Structure 1
Amino acid sequence: MRPSRSWLLRGALGASLGASLALNLVLGYLLQAGPQRGPDVDRAQARIERVLSEPDRLVFHRAMEAGRPEFQAALREHRQGRPAVAEALAAEPFDPEAMRAAMAQSRARWQSFSTSFENSMIQGFAAMSPEGRRRVAKDMRGRGGQRSGQK
């Protein structure tokens, strides 16, 4: 199976982030990226909530909903910037500097989304019980970084 151009581009962008390995691991575990959709924040939130007790689920959900306007706006900005990368890639003659600039802008928008999403998760994790955090950590380890639908 040959990876698509969008997956290769995502890989290049992800590799260049490098600023926060922990963030990338957590977000990689939580966010499911589709070729057209990008990260699925609702699925990420549901994946955490499904392993929690009702009290922990409620406090985590409240924290995520409080941060939703900020991280959704950042995600929209990131998605709106995607065409610039594709345009720079397809330009003839190809301009490496234009490509670097488009990728840097995309990386900055992704970082803005990642930071705001991470802040909401951390608020939720801080509000839940130690048992709730252990459940989430156990679920993450049990999945071993597998994508949804893979066994």
Structure 2
Amino acid sequence: MKFVGRKLEVSRTFLVASILLNIFLAALAGGQYLRHRAEESRHESVFERVVEDLTSHLDNSDAEAFRSALKQEEPHYAKAHENLALARADINRLLLAPNFDPAAAREAMRRWRLAWNAFVGSFGDALVDAMARISPAGRRAIVETMPKHKT
């Protein structure tokens, strides 16, 4: 029985290390992407770039309906996105602290998950409303534009 308990403890350690590494790599990749995007367009917000990318595949009436729906809801998910960024910064601060505190890091990650869920929930609602306002061909165009991830 001691071997099973030790194996479980090692697995948990590797899981936490893997999650932390993934967060670090995602932040690093995101930072590189945002740095390059900022050089390309200093006056455009992330929201405007996402909407522009999605609507570039739509006809004019669908594009206008989609933009309008998302723009109406932007204040709701903008705050959620800000909270997500703050939670991520808190995790980074804890990971870089000279005296690493695993309990504090776990708590920060719990807060980040809550912030992520709030952001996804608020943006998801806006996206569903926007999709409801466009044609079936427009919805198909947006779905085909979305990145395909293997699960």
Q: TM-score range by the shorter chain?
A: 0.5 to 0.7
The letter for the 2-side match of 1:9 is I
Q: CA deviation at 1:7?
A: 7.3
SS of corresponding position for 2:31? coil
Q: CA deviation at 1:114?
A: 1.4
Partner of 2:31: 34
Q: CA deviation at 1:98?
A: 0.6
1:85 and 1:79, CA in 2 relative to 1: closer, same or farther beyond 3 A?
A: same
1:103 and 1:34, CA in 2 relative to 1: closer, same or farther beyond 3 A?
A: same
1:51 counterpart = 2:48: no
Q: CA deviation at 1:58?
A: 1.1
Deviates more, 1:84-93 or 1:47-56: 84-93
Q: Relative to total residues, which structure has the larger helix share, 1 or 2?
A: 2
Which ranges in structure 2 are unaligned for 5 or more consecutive residues? 1-19, 36-44
Question: How far apart in 2 are the matches of 1:97 and 1:79?
Answer: 21
Q: CA deviation at 1:37?
A: 5.0
Partner of 1:29: none
Question: How far apart in 1 are the matches of 2:84 and 2:33?
Answer: 13
Higher Cα radius of gyration: 2
Map 1:46-125; keep pairs closer than 5 Å: 46-125=52-131
The letter for the 2-side match of 1:128 is I
Q: CA deviation at 1:134?
A: 1.6
Asked whether the equivalents of residues 7 and 35 of structure 1 are also in contact (C-alpha less than 8 Å), the reply is no
1:139 and 1:54, CA in 2 relative to 1: closer, same or farther beyond 3 A?
A: same
1:77 and 1:98, CA in 2 relative to 1: closer, same or farther beyond 3 A?
A: same
Question: How far apart in 2 are the matches of 1:85 and 1:95?
Answer: 11
> When the two structures are superposed, what TM-score results if normalisation uses the length of structure 2?
0.66
Which ranges in structure 1 are unaligned for 5 or more consecutive residues? 1-5, 14-31, 146-151
User: Number of residues paired by the alignment?
Assistant: 120
Question: How far apart in 2 are the matches of 1:51 and 1:7?
Answer: 35
> When the two structures are superposed, what TM-score results if normalisation uses the length of structure 1?
0.66
1:58 and 1:12, CA in 2 relative to 1: closer, same or farther beyond 3 A?
A: closer
Q: 2:134 aligns with which of 128, 134, 147?
A: 128
